[in-house]
Amino acid sequence: MCVMDQAAGTEPAASRGPCAAIPAEQMAFIREILDRVGDKWSTLIIALLEDGPLRYSDLQHDVPGISQRMLSHTLRQLHQDGLVTRTAYAEVPPRVEYALTPLSRSLLDIVKQLIGWASDHHDEIRRNRAEAETAVPRR
């Protein structure tokens, strides 16, 4: 998994597993990062931007089920984290495009694999959920 140099005297976040290589004081921020890059809307937006910049309206059209508010919020967060660029053009009407940064390009293969995995296994997971619902008595 990830290997980080431990500074002398820092405690690892866990005694084993991938978090054992992470200093405990970094774990809260790493969880925030994982929240962001693992968010369903972020992964879909990053994957969509693979082929080049897109306008807001194109993203809204190509991300099924996302609201304007959630798209704006997600793009703002991705921009703050340096995962997308936002370029505003001085035109009438105004045009704004979003594109991947080198940082998010390094994440792109992982995002595409995650989306592919979900697509490949959605039938199996759907069956498992249905079986679990019928096996567990409701209260």
Tens-place pLDDT, residues 9-20: 578 878 888 888
Q: What is the Rg, in whole angstroms, of the alpha carbon atoms belonging to the chain?
A: 19
Determine how many CB atoms are found less than 10 A away from the CB of residue 86.
Answer: 14
Domain that holds residue 89: 18-135
Enumerate the β-bridge partners of residue 96: 88
Is 6 domain-assigned? no
Is 9 domain-assigned? no
φ, ψ of residue 137 in degrees (nearest 5): -65, 135
pTM: 0.81
Q: Which CATH number belongs to the domain containing residue 112 in this structure?
A: 1.10.10.10
Is 2 domain-assigned? no
How far apart are alpha carbons 98 and 52 in whole angstroms? 9
Answer whether 104's CB lies under 8 Å from 85's CB: no
Is 111 domain-assigned? yes
Determine how many CB atoms are found less than 10 A away from the CB of residue 39.
Answer: 16
Tens-place pLDDT, residues 39-91: 999 999 999 999 999 999 999 999 999 999 999 999 999 999 999 999 999 99
Is 61 domain-assigned? yes
Query: Considering its fold, how many domains does the chain have in total?
Result: 1
Is 5 domain-assigned? no
Is 7 domain-assigned? no
